[in-house]
A and B are shown apart, each in its own frame.
Chain A
Amino acid sequence: DGGITQSPKYLFRKEGQNVTLSCEQNLNHDAMYWYRQDPGQGLRLIYYSQIVNDFQKGDIAEGYSVSREKKESFPLTVTSAQKNPTAFYLCASSMEGTTVHFGNGTRLTVT
């Protein structure tokens, strides 16, 4: 089955540690996205990439970094500079101009 795989589903880290969230898609989509979801705030765009080796900052990129070395993969690193990293993180992908499809998310808890 084609889809978007995010791993792990739950992630726990100590404050001050960097952590990388995995996102892999086998839909052959060109564009990939990372969103952050907090209760009552909807989805906020962190980073997006329209093509391999290129990515753009979204609305809340501070404290995050990404890479797009392969078409299938778009990992997100939450750095220690992110002040409030505890959240539900959603990865998504789409072909140019079509419906965005989502993974099942990673819930990150930083204590």
Chain B
Amino acid sequence: AQSVAQPEDQVNVAEGNPLTVKCTYSVSGNPYLFWYVQYPNRGLQFLLKYITGDNLVKGSYGFEAEFNKSQTSFHLKKPSALVSDSALYFCAVRGPPLRASGGSYIPTFGRGTSLIVHP
């Protein structure tokens, strides 16, 4: 079974400082990893994904994430936080396609981390 852990319920950072939101995962085979952001009373917006290639993935709004296979981590980062980055962030993982067995492509989501950026 696949799983995702976001160990911090909340991350506080001052505007202009770098931010990191942590994510670790467990999955059979090569992982497909995703980060989403959610603003209040809205759906999840896709930020970035890792499937293969360079371990540092760049995404929307200046966010990036680093895939670390040995540590099974995919932490979300931004060099300089903005107050408008304050939101709920979700990490998600799924395994590679299981065509032979007719498997699905359902990602598993973490519990979410609330990012609060202080002015």
A90–B9 alpha-carbon span in the complex (Å): 21
Measured in the bound complex, the distance between the Cα atoms of B109 and A50 in whole Å is: 19
Q: Is the interface of A mostly helix, strand, loop or mixed?
A: strand
Q: Quick one: which of A90, A100, A105 contacts B107, CB cutoff 8 A?
A: A100
Interface size class of B (residues with CB under 8 A): 20 to 34
Q: Does A48 contact B (CB under 8 A)?
A: yes
Identify which of A31, A35, A43, A90 contacts B105 (C-beta below 8 A): A31
Q: Which listed residue, A33, A35, A105, touches B41 by the CB 8 Å rule?
A: A105
The distance in angstroms between the C-alpha atoms of A104 and B109, with both chains bound, is 17
In the bound complex, residues from chain A placing their C-beta under 8 Å from that of B49 are 99
Chain A 8-25 per-residue mask, 1 if CB under 8 angstroms from chain B, else 0: 010000000000000000
- The CA of A43 and the CA of B4, in the complex, are separated in Å by 12
Are B111 and A40 neighbours in the complex by a CB distance under 8 Å?
A: yes
> Is A94 interfacial (CB 8 A cutoff)?
yes
**How many Å from the CB of B3 to the closest CB on chain A?**
11
- Nearest residue (CB) in A for B4 is A42
Which residues, 12 to 45 on B, are CB-close (under 8 Å) to A?
A: 34, 36, 41-45
Looking across the interface, which residue of chain A has its beta carbon closest to that of B42? A104
Task: Point out the residues of chain A lying under 8 angstroms from B52, CB to CB.
Answer: none
